[in-house]
Amino acid sequence: MSGATPLLELRDVKKYFPAGGARMPWVAPRWVKAVDGVNLSIHAGETVGLVGESGCGKTTTTRLILRLERPTQGQVLFEGRDVFALKGRDLQRYRQSVQAVFQDPYSSLNPRMRIGDIIGEPLEAQGGLSRQTIKAKVGDALSLVGLRPANATRFPHEFSGGQRQRIAIARAIATSARLIVLDEPVSALDVSIRAQIMTLLEDLQRQLGVSFLFIGHDLATVIHISQRIAVMYLGNIVEEASADVLSATPMHPYTRALFAAALPPDPFEAPITAMVEGGVPTALAPPSGCHFHPRCPYAMARCSTEAPELLPVDGRAIACHLYSECLSVPSS
């Protein structure tokens, strides 16, 4: 990517949650290491995909970016400035610039508010806009997502799941946000509607130049819409590459397991190979060294004692001892 300052940057971000209730003062605290040293950049106008299974920390990462949680360590930088040091007007500007769309279209909209008020809410929070201006912007946002502006007087229950998600997207673009965090935006929608929303998002990016952080668990969906992808496992990014490079040659054993498990709708392809056994361990007591080593088919002795760093290899970044030692891709 270009050397320009990234729009959003996470520098060695960690978020630990205290685990367990009351404890004796002499007992060492236990931590759930939800995010354990994450480095990520998003540039203007690009879509970065974040893919991983349950417990990998992608939701916590979004909460950190959206300022719903404070990092235990590390920095979140927006246009080079620490997001958690912002106050007053600067903070307000951040809020307008970074918006979100969540997974459940049925709980993203307040059932007692009209659509126009829902979409206008971030505009109103920004302050200083007349009611006419807000109304006009709401109308524009609705048109951009393919709904008629007259819908502003209706209530959420009058719309289907796909339409509600469009309304949620309209709310996210109403303030001319520069970055929208999308947390599983199509997972709860019917299959035939998903393509509509994906196409809408791509169109919006082309028209508005907005960046997306697209979080999902379905590899094919995430790869389709993203230019770059980061794969997370138990609080760390294990591999990061452009979407094309990643789908052509996944290198990290976990990434390869994800690819093997992603079933293409093509009965002529190879049968299912479950490359890994077992489930994701708890973030409360992650395995030592490389978190993935107990499930890794290529684990070496070193993997259980030393956590690999995310190192640049061959146009991508990868955290795996296999690659820090020898650069050849092991045959499966």
Partner 1 sequence: MRAPGRARKLLKDVPILPGVILLALILTAIFADVIAPYDPTVPVAGAKVFQPPFWMNGGSLIAPFGTDFQGRDVLSRLIYGARVSLLVGITGTLVAGGIGLTLGILAGYLGGWVDHAVMRLTDAWLALPFLMFAIFLAALLGAGVSNIIIVFGLVYWTRYARVIRGEVLTLREREFVRLAQVAGVSTPKIVMRHIVPNVMNTWMVLASLTVGVVIVTEASLSFLGVGVPPPTPAWGSMLADARSTLMVGYWWLTVLPGLCISAVVLAANLFGDWLRVRLDPQRRDL
Partner 2 sequence: MSTLLHVTDLRTTYVTHGGGRPVAAVDGVSFDLERGECLGLVGESGSGKTTTCLSIVGLLPAAARIDGGSIEFDGQQLVGRSAEELSEIRGRQIAMILQDPMASLNPLLTIYDQVAEPAYYHRGARGTGLRRHVLDLLRAVRIPSPEVRMAEYPHQMSGGMRQRVVGAIALSAGPQLIIADEPTTNLDVTIQAQYLNLLKDLQRRTGVSLLFVTHNLGIVAHMCDRVAVMYAGQIVEQGPVRDLFQTPRHPYTQALLRSIPKLGSREPLYAIPGQPPDLAELPGGCAFHPRCPRALETCASEAPPETAIAARHLARCWLLNP
Binding site for partner 2 (CB under 8 A): 53-54, 160, 162-163, 190-196, 198-199, 202, 217-221, 223-225, 244, 247-248, 257-269, 271-277, 279-280
- Which residue is associated with the tokens 């300052």? 5
Least distance in Å: CB of 129 to partner 1? Answer: 13
| CA dihedral angle for residue 231, residue 233, residue 236, residue 242, rounded to 10 degrees | -10
Taking the complex as a whole, the smallest distance from the CB of residue 186 to partner 2 amounts, in Å, to: 10
- Stated as kind and residue range, the H or E segment containing 208 is helix 191-208
Q: What is the 3-state secondary structure (H, E, C) of 213-254?
A: EEEECCHHHHHHHCCEEEEEECCEEEEEEEHHHHHHCCCCHH
d(C-alpha 102, C-alpha 176), whole Å: 18
Helix H or strand E encompassing 89: helix 88-97
Q: CA quadruple 301, 302, 306, 312: dihedral positive or negative?
A: negative
Q: Other CB atoms closer than 10 Å to residue 199's CB: what's the count?
A: 12
Residue 142 or 225 having the CB closest to partner 2? 225
Q: Tokens 């690009």: give the residue.
A: 46
Nearer to partner 1, 113 or 245 (CB): 113
Instruction: In whole angstroms, give the CA distance from residue 25 to residue 312.
Output: 43
The smaller minimum CB distance to partner 1, of residues 100 and 213, is found at 100
- Interface pick for partner 1 out of 21, 157, 248, 267 (rule CB under 8 A): 157
Residues 34-73 close enough to bind partner 1 by CB under 8 A? 66-68
The residue (of 106 and 298) whose beta carbon lies closer to partner 1 is: 106
Task: Compute the least distance from the CB of residue 21 to partner 1, in Å.
Answer: 13
String of contacts with partner 1 for each residue 14-33, x by CB under 8 A:
--------------------
For partner 1, which is the closer residue by CB, 98 or 231? 98
From the list partner 1, partner 2, none, partner contacted by residue 192 (C-beta under 5 to 8 A by kind) = partner 2
Provide, rounded to whole angstroms, the least separation between the CB of residue 149 and partner 1: 18
Distances 171 to 119, 184, 235, 253, 330 between C-alpha atoms, Å? 4, 17, 30, 39, 47
The site map against partner 1 for 169-208 (x = CB under 8 A) is --x---x---------------------------------
From the CB of 116, what's the least distance to partner 1, in Å? Answer: 13
Task: Characterize the bridge pairing of strands 211-216 and 47-51.
Answer: parallel
Helices 161-173 and 131-144, axial angle in degrees (round to 10) = 130
Site map 79..118 versus partner 1, x via CB under 8 A: ------------xx--xx-xxx-xxx--xxxxxxx----x
Q: Is 250 within 8 Å of 314 (Cβ atoms)?
A: no
Look up tokens 């093509």; give the residue. 266
Size of the site for partner 1 (CB under 8 A): 34
Cβ nearer to partner 2, comparing 94 with 233: 233
Scan residues 256-285 and list those touching partner 1 (CB under 8 A).
none
Residue length of the chain = 332
Q: Classify residue 280 by its DSSP letter.
A: P
What is the bridge-based pairing of β-strands 228-233 and 47-51?
parallel
- Cβ distance to partner 1 smaller for residue 155 or 259: 155
Stretch binding partner 1 (CB under 8 A), from 36-44, 47-55, 148-156, 238-246: 148-156
From 1-9, 30-38, 149-157, 237-245, give the range in contact with partner 1 by CB under 8 A. Answer: 149-157
For residue 202, what are its two tokens?
Answer: 């791509």
Interface residues with partner 1 (CB under 8 A)?
A: 66-68, 91-92, 95-96, 98-100, 102-104, 107-113, 118, 121-122, 124-126, 154-158, 168, 171, 175
